[in-house]
């Protein structure tokens, strides 16, 4: 059975925890392992933080959206902003690359996402925003309902 949820929220850092918990509760119905759940919540935090601090330069008054689709034991996540976009996606994906070293970012967000998910796709256009699309196959088989 396919199941989907969509949420949209203001670009304020308080909503990072909201996003983690919301996606975590939705994915819980697939009965993930504790590690899988932690990994999914971590990638949500990374992508939402990126949308807020990079996409929107920490300005409130914009929106971040999340779509999460569950299909059998697979989780698909799309996290989207309409912020400044990324000039060079290949460079941004490199471990340790950060455009904000002054904020003590470590440049590891996309690397963490790549490690925790099976697939990471970044679609970004300067001045029109960034869409981060991720997929993960869960190990545990659940009884179909
Ligand atoms: N949503 C986004 N909008 C605009 N630029 C982005 C976005 N997400 C990432 N970037 C760019 O990609 C770079 C790499 O992102 P990544 O998450 O790997 O590192 P970081 O956010 O700089 O540091 P860390 O995640 O370790 O705190 C960022 O420094 C930023 O330049
Ligand atoms: Mg980051």
Structural contact between residues 69 and 109, judged by C-beta atoms closer than 8 angstroms:
no
- SS3 of the chain: CEEEEEEEEECCCCHHHHHHHHHHHHHHHHCCCHHHHHHHHHHHHHHHHHHHHHHCCCCCCCEEEEEEEEECCEEEEEEEECCCCCCCHHHHCCCCCCCCHHHCCCCCHHHHHHHHCCEEEEEEECCCEEEEEEEEECCCCCCCC
Could you tell me the domains of the chain?
2-137 (3.30.565.10)
Q: Which ligand is the nearest neighbour of the Cα of 108?
A: 1
pLDDT at 41: 98
pLDDT at 28: 97
pLDDT at 141: 57
Confirm or reject: Cβ of 105 under 6 Å from ligand 1. Answer: yes
**Which residue has the least CA distance to atom 31 on ligand 1?**
99
Q: Residue-wise pLDDT tens for the chain (145 aa)?
A: 799 999 999 999 999 999 999 999 999 999 999 999 999 999 999 999 999 999 999 999 999 999 999 999 999 999 999 999 999 999 999 999 999 988 878 999 999 999 999 999 999 999 899 999 999 999 965 455 5
**Active-site option among 4, 46, 58, 76:** 46
pLDDT at 144: 53
Confirm or reject: Cβ of 92 under 6 Å from ligand 1. Answer: yes
Confirm or reject: Cβ of 75 under 6 Å from ligand 1. Answer: no
pLDDT at 49: 97
Ligand 1 pocket, mutate which of 50, 78, 91 (most atoms under 8 A from CB): 50
Confirm or reject: Cβ of 48 under 6 Å from ligand 1. Answer: no
**Which residue has the least CA distance to atom 9 on ligand 1?**
50
pLDDT at 1: 78
């Amino acid at each position: 059975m396919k199941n989907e949820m969509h949420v949209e929220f203001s670009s304020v850092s308080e909503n990072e925890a909201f996003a983690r918990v919301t996606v975590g509760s939705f994915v819980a119905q697939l009965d993930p392992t504790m590690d899988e759940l932690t990994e999914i919540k971590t990638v949500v935090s990374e992508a939402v933080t990126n949308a807020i601090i990079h996409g929107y330069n920490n300005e409130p008054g914009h929106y971040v959206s999340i779509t999460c689709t569950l299909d059998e034991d697979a989780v698909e996540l799309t996290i989207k902003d309409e912020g400044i976009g990324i000039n060079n996606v290949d460079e941004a994906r490199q471990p340790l690359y950060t455009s904000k070293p002054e904020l003590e970012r470590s440049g590891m967000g996309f690397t963490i996402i790549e490690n925790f998910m099976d697939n990471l796709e970044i679609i970004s256009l300067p001045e029109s925003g960034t869409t981060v699309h991720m997929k993960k196959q869960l190990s545990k088989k659940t009884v179909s309902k």
